[in-house]
Structure 1
Amino acid sequence: MFSRDDSDPDPITAAIAPPHDESPHERQIRLLNEQTAKEVSDGIDEQISRERQQAKREPKPVKILLLGQSESGKSTTLKNFQLMVAPQAFRAERASWRAIIHLNVIRSVRIILDALARASNPGELPPSPRSSYSSRDSIRPDTDLMTLRTRLLPLLQIEDVLVQRLANHGTQSVPDGPSPSDTSHIPMTARRRHGKEVAVNSTVAWKSAFMRKPTGRESFDSQDVVDWDDPNDPGAVLHARREEMQRLWGHPMVRTILASQGIRLHESAGFFLDDLDTICAPRYVPTDDHVLRARLKTLGVSEHRMRLTDPQGGITRQFHIFDVGGQRSMRPKWVPYFDDVDAIIFLAPISAFDQALAEDPRINRLADSVELWTAVISNKLLQNTNVILFLNKVDIMQAKLTSGIKLVEYCPTYGRRPNDFDSASRFLKKQFSTILKQSSPSPRIFYCHLTNVIDVKSTTYVLAGIKDQMMRFNLKESNLIL
């Protein structure tokens, strides 16, 4: 057994001991600083103690998970929750989404320019399996279109500027479609190299990258936090190139070329080319609708806390909503969040019945949603959890079916049913319901909504119903109501 010589100085005591040559004045200052530090520490401890006591008195928070594949509408659903619960705070952040919408516009332009480059060299890639065109030689872009492409290429430099600003707030690159653009000079945290889309870490406060600090007032308009004199602001360049971008998107050959390569740009998240007059205005600030439509891929799991009030009883509850990344690589990380969860909102984008996963082109997106739904429903950790299904993006699905795209070609079990939205939605709803009945470890009620989560009015109605349902369920569990 080891013993310690009492004459040896304790290293901690030695570290905090005052200097031997400390003067009376220096000692007075040191003691004052120590007293101030102790008061701050005691204040923090007291605040923590109060919060713990308050937490004990309040009902258990309602924990909700948003699950679904990437681009299923989870982040948009969360935005709707925020808009419903705290509209002022939501609108105060609209200025930060201005840069993201500009990034979305440039990304759409880049996709078109890349498609034109491929079309001008038809031997570069094989025909798209989703294309109805047998030859790409007949749809080469004309001289006018290629000249327009050359004039718009410098616009892509703005993308690098915006990515660079996000780079300082923890962005990464994730797979997207093919892209020949070289961004090798951008730091690794924000590089959008060949075939990559910018993504932001959900735990990082990226919004501050595009917002000027308020002047100290408790409330302020979104325009107050936009630095209109910022020399790197892309708004002026986009305004100058607005007509050329409109000519590009309005060119009839562009739609044909995109279709020949299986690209349905107007169906993708973050599509704004139909609204360039508004978005490219000199002092543009996004509307609520624009913020809901904005696309920024997020990685990781983000937690959002909201205080919601039951309108009937006036009881306030804390809601913890977790937005869980839907990429295939993220799905193994879902399980730790299944513990003690009250409800899952599962989003299945049924409009993607004719699309493949970006992560694995061999897998149909609708089939992937069905597989994910089966895995969630059959998980024994969740057997007592309410699961609410959103069959999402119904507006896009309806447009596809109306245009003649046949569900049976991608889902053979659809059989000879009519190729209309009512028939298709009933069929898919029944398929998901059957899986719940057959795969759930215990009997469950099938909660299902046909949704378009960028439609604020209808989505707010659905979410308000879910909030009240969860509020009543948890109050019963806490024996606060009969």
Structure 2
Amino acid sequence: MSSPSAPATAKNAYSRALPTHISVVDEREAKRISNAIDRAGESGKTTVLKQIKIIHGEGFNVEREEYRKIIRLNALTAIRELCLCMLQHKATVTFPINQEHFDYLLSLEGPGESTFMNGKKFSNLLRRRQSADDASADAIFNHAAPSIKAVWGDPAAQELFQRGLAKNMQDSAASFLDEIDRLAADKYTPTDVDILRARVRTFGVTEHQFKIELVTYRIFDVGGQRSQRQGWAPYFDDCSAIIFVAAVSSFDQYLREDPSVNRLYDALQLFESICNHRLLRSTSIILFLNKIDVLKRKLANGTRLSSYFKDYTGPNDYQYVTSYFQHLFFSQNKVPQKEIYLHLTHATDTRQMRVIVSAVNVIVQRMNLKNSGLM
């Protein structure tokens, strides 16, 4: 990031100024934090980056066609997760005619995640008991579209989804599944809203550059997978600010790789590691408690925070719950001089993010003036 310093995100979400030098962080500490980052995906960090690109960059016109495959893959992955949830809960389709569709979707083995690797997007292959090249991915989706629509519209599937039992489905799944006909159309071109909702996993290091109110930001998006540790470890050094993105809606969800660990507890542990890291003790943090739209929906549907956070005794109300989460995150910090700036965010809401990005820009510039001794 060029001078003056500005925040840059990394997995769940590190932010740094472009260093005048790079020193290697203690490898054991880097590995420990990397392991935590591995487990803390889907916070909405990448969506924040997309919003900055829409608001202050060139948008997605160049990549729009690429996102078609990613969005279709998201939809297919989501419906398959719902089918697996129905199996887990021994639920059967309400209409017998949908059983064949249900079986077909289950036969689509492992429609993996889309990835974002070193600045290039890749759609993992869709497979139906054999490999398929990327060129045929659209054809496979189009063949599956009637089955997706049938199962998604089945009352039994809807009941499980509305009860929040399909916890591995991504938050944007319903919006894609509701519009399967549009997604399957021959001339389908993703909108900005579609792209914001698309789930893309990050590998490697990707760099983004934006100009916000005459300030040039160079943002390094750093993947947190174990194989990528050597790539992101140096970015802990020379941090001027950190943006940390946590999905507060994940309070009732557990890690895929360790179902005994609550996702939000895990995010709290990661936040504690960052706040108190020896190289980041004087670094301010901008905390995004994200996915407040999903949180509101879960609370309104009757999902009780106290069922997952036993020490919470307040009302199951958005204002009380978010105040509780703020206290939880702030209490992880053991460095008295550290400044933490809080924002409650809905990262897919461009209007809200426009205001927040502007506020973050003001905060960062104030930090720069303070660090330079000008205030």
**TM-score normalised to structure 2 length:** 0.78
In the TM superposition, what are the counterparts of 1:132-151 in structure 2 within 5 Å? 136=90, 139-141=91-93, 143-150=96-103
From 110, 113, 129, the counterpart of 1:198: 113
In the TM superposition, what are the counterparts of 1:335-350 in structure 2 within 5 Å? 335-350=233-248
From 416, 421, 436, the counterpart of 2:318: 421
Q: Does residue 62 in structure 1 map to residue 6 in structure 2?
A: yes
Structure ranking higher on relative contact order (CA contacts 8 Å, 6+ apart): 2
Q: Aligned equivalents of 2:271 and 2:208: distance in 1? A: 24
> Cα–Cα, structure 1 residues 148 and 207, in superposed 2: closer, same or farther, change >3 Å?
closer
> Counterpart of 1:76?
47
From 358, 361, 369, the counterpart of 2:267: 369
For the 8 Å contact 2:151–2:157, the answer to whether it is kept is yes
Q: Aligned equivalents of 1:403 and 1:349: distance in 2? A: 18
Q: Aligned equivalents of 1:328 and 1:413: distance in 2? A: 33
Which deviates more, 462-471 or 61-70? 61-70
> Counterpart of 2:129?
none
Q: Does residue 93 in structure 1 map to residue 63 in structure 2?
A: yes
In the TM superposition, what are the counterparts of 1:143-162 in structure 2 within 5 Å? 143-150=96-103, 156=108
Residue deviations 1:197-250 (CA, integer Å, cap 9, x gap): 3353521523699xxxxxxxxxxxxxxxxxxxxx94655665565454322201
For the 8 Å contact 1:64–1:319, the answer to whether it is kept is yes
Q: Aligned equivalents of 2:199 and 2:193: distance in 1? A: 12
Q: Does residue 285 in structure 1 map to residue 183 in structure 2?
A: no
Residue deviations 1:4-27 (CA, integer Å, cap 9, x gap): xxxxxxxxxxxxxxxxxxxxxxxx
> Counterpart of 1:31?
none
AA matched with 2:50:
K
Q: Aligned equivalents of 1:301 and 1:308: distance in 2? A: 22
Gaps of at least 5 residues in structure 1 are 1-54, 120-126, 128-135, 157-180, 182-191, 210-230, 310-315
From 253, 269, 278, the counterpart of 2:156: 253
Q: Aligned equivalents of 1:330 and 1:236: distance in 2? A: 33
Q: Aligned equivalents of 2:102 and 2:295: distance in 1? A: 31
In the TM superposition, what are the counterparts of 1:273-312 in structure 2 within 5 Å? 273-309=177-213
Gaps of at least 5 residues in structure 2 are 13-39, 125-133
Q: Kindly state the Cα deviation for residue 145 of structure 1 after the two structures are TM-superposed.
A: 2.4
AA matched with 2:79:
V
Q: Aligned equivalents of 1:369 and 1:208: distance in 2? A: 27
Q: Kindly state the Cα deviation for residue 146 of structure 1 after the two structures are TM-superposed.
A: 1.1
For the 8 Å contact 1:63–1:343, the answer to whether it is kept is yes
In the TM superposition, what are the counterparts of 1:351-390 in structure 2 within 5 Å? 351-390=249-288
In the TM superposition, what are the counterparts of 1:213-224 in structure 2 within 5 Å? none
What secondary structure does 1:282 align onto? Answer: coil
What secondary structure does 1:412 align onto? Answer: coil
What secondary structure does 1:83 align onto? Answer: helix
What secondary structure does 2:352 align onto? Answer: helix
Q: Aligned equivalents of 2:262 and 2:172: distance in 1? A: 18
For the 8 Å contact 1:347–1:389, the answer to whether it is kept is yes
Q: Does residue 321 in structure 1 map to residue 219 in structure 2?
A: yes
What secondary structure does 1:110 align onto? Answer: helix
Residue deviations 1:260-287 (CA, integer Å, cap 9, x gap): 9931466535551012232222211111
From 65, 76, 81, the counterpart of 1:111: 81
> Counterpart of 1:444?
338
> Cα–Cα, structure 1 residues 348 and 261, in superposed 2: closer, same or farther, change >3 Å?
closer
What secondary structure does 2:113 align onto? Answer: strand
What secondary structure does 2:339 align onto? Answer: coil
Q: Does residue 430 in structure 1 map to residue 334 in structure 2?
A: no
> Counterpart of 2:130?
none
Which deviates more, 318-327 or 246-255? 318-327
Q: Kindly state the Cα deviation for residue 344 of structure 1 after the two structures are TM-superposed.
A: 0.8
AA matched with 2:171:
S
> Counterpart of 2:37?
none
Q: Kindly state the Cα deviation for residue 306 of structure 1 after the two structures are TM-superposed.
A: 2.4
- Give the structure with the larger helix fraction: 1
Q: Aligned equivalents of 1:328 and 1:104: distance in 2? A: 24
Q: Aligned equivalents of 1:202 and 1:107: distance in 2? A: 20
> Counterpart of 1:455?
349
Identity fraction in percent = 31
AA matched with 1:245:
I
AA matched with 2:352:
S
After superposition, the CA RMSD in angstroms is 3.3
Q: Aligned equivalents of 1:476 and 1:282: distance in 2? A: 55
Q: Aligned equivalents of 2:257 and 2:183: distance in 1? A: 31
Q: Kindly state the Cα deviation for residue 333 of structure 1 after the two structures are TM-superposed.
A: 6.8
**TM-score normalised to structure 1 length:** 0.62
